[in-house]
């Protein structure tokens, strides 16, 4: 019988899982540092000139992928102009029905309420590679017009090394939200908006996301419909739900199988229902944000103070 661990793809080896986990669920305040780092690189992207197309309603003929899962259906627009090689590859997989019957294999969350996202498109429930797994990789494509906000679709199958570049493959990263509004809001300063840093920060404040992933993943799509199903998957229980976050070999596999029953291509005009639905910022349960209390919570707090 083959050694399953050795048959795993690069993205699912323990070293990569650790990279993936901590890149998504770094301490939230560190997200501020990562945004800053993105603007301090030797060749930083000037986001002040970016067209953040995830926040704009697509044209009716824009390509859309529909994911019908056992947790419900959600839909995402695809951005082929921003990631041409990957989207071409992804669309071929969808047309070939590769994702039909595949699994959500990893849900990245921790015990303090952070739900960073999930991995989907695996031929096995635990994410290991089998003969039917597609192992083709494409080079990472970075677009100044796409950000890792809530609902963004991305891919990273191997991290870059000294002599290698990061790659993207058939496993899809579905990004959720770990943004701490209070901490991030405090980082916005009046004055010159260098390379659009404050502009980007304000987008994360409004739409949530995982700022730590800026300029690291191939981003190629954005969810616009089916948020109930999307949130249900992000919050699903994992096998080692009660294990400490730093426990060795902690499993992030869903407790109950979540299957992509069917994935197919369509267009925005055929799939839209009502207004274009932007992602909504949701605070992690471990964050105490007085600025984002609901009216009921505010009334209760005021009553307690009096």
Whether 2 maps to a domain, the answer reads no
* Triad 31, 228, 133: Cα angle to 5°: 75
Tell me, what CATH number does 169's domain have?
2.40.100.10
Mean pLDDT of 157-163: 57
The answer to whether residue 39 scores a pLDDT higher than 60 is no
Cα torsion through 17, 20, 21, 23, rounded to 10: 150
Q: What pLDDT score does 223 carry?
A: 97
Query: What 8-state DSSP symbol labels residue 129?
Result: -
- The tens digit of pLDDT for each residue in 168-222 reads 889 999 999 988 777 677 666 666 777 788 888 889 989 999 888 888 889 999 9
Residue holding tokens 């997989």?
Answer: 93
Average pLDDT over residues 275-294: 59
| Residue 210, φ and ψ in degrees, nearest 5 | -130, 85
**Integer angstrom CA distances of residue 147 from 96, 186, 218:** 28, 20, 10
Q: What pLDDT, on the 0 to 100 scale, is given for residue 306?
A: 39
Q: Which of 236-245, 272-281, 288-297 has the highest mean pLDDT?
A: 236-245
pTM assigned to the model? 0.82
Residue 27 belongs to a domain: yes
Half-sphere exposure of 32 (CA within 13 A, CB side): 12
User: What is the per-residue burial (b if ≥16 Cβ within 10 Å, else e) of 173-206?
Assistant: bbbbbbbbbbbbeebeeeeebebbbbebbebbbb
| Mean pLDDT for all residues in the chain | 80
Residue 3: inside a domain, yes or no?
A: no
pLDDT of residue 38: 58
Q: What range defines the domain where residue 15 resides? A: 10-305
Query: What tokens were used for 224?
Result: 């616009």
Please state which of the ranges 11-20, 94-103, 125-134 shows the lowest mean pLDDT.
Answer: 11-20
Asked whether residue 4 is domain-assigned, the answer is: no
pLDDT tens for each residue of 229-262: 999 999 999 999 988 877 888 888 999 999 999 9
Interval 137-162 mean pLDDT: 85
Given pLDDT bands bounded at 50, 70 and 90, which one contains residue 69? very high
DSSP for 251-290, written as a single string: --SBSS--EEEEEEEEEHHHH--SS---------TT---G
Provide the pLDDT confidence category of residue 29 given band limits of 50, 70 and 90: very low
**137: phi > 0 → left, psi -120 to 50 → alpha, else beta; which?**
beta
CB-based contact 151:223 (threshold 8 Å): yes
**What is the total count of domains within the chain?**
1
């Amino acid at each position: 019988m083959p050694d399953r661990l050795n048959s795993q793809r690069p993205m699912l080896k323990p070293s990569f899982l650790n990279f993936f986990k901590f890149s998504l669920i770094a301490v939230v305040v560190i997200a501020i540092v990562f945004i800053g780092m993105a603007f301090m690189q030797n060749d930083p992207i000037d986001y002040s000139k970016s067209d953040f197309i995830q926040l704009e309603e697509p044209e009716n003929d824009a390509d859309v992928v529909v994911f019908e899962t056992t947790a419900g259906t959600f839909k995402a627009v695809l951005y082929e102009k921003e990631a041409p090689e990957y989207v071409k590859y992804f669309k071929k997989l969808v047309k070939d029905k590769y994702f039909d019957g595949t699994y959500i294999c990893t849900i990245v969350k921790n015990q303090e309420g952070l739900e960073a996202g999930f991995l989907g498109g695996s031929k096995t429930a635990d994410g290991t590679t089998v003969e039917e797994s597609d192992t083709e990789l494409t080079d990472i494509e970075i677009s100044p017009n796409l950000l890792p906000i809530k609902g963004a679709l991305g891919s990273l199958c191997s991290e870059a090394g000294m002599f290698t570049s990061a790659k993207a493959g058939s496993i899809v990263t579905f990004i959720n939200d770990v943004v701490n509004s209070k901490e991030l809001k405090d980082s916005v300063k009046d004055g010159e908006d260098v390379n659009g840093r404050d502009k980007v920060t304000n987008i994360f404040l409004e739409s949530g996301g995982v700022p730590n992933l800026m300029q690291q993943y191939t981003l190629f799509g954005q969810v616009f419909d089916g948020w109930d199903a999307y949130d249900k998957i992000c919050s699903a229980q994992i096998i080692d739900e009660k294990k400490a976050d730093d426990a060795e070999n902690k499993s992030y596999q869903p407790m109950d199988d979540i299957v992509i029953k069917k994935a197919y291509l369509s267009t925005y005009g055929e799939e839209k229902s009502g207004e274009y639905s932007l992602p909504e910022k949701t605070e992690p349960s471990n964050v105490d944000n007085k600025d984002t209390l609901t009216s009921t919570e505010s009334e209760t707090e005021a009553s307690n103070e009096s």
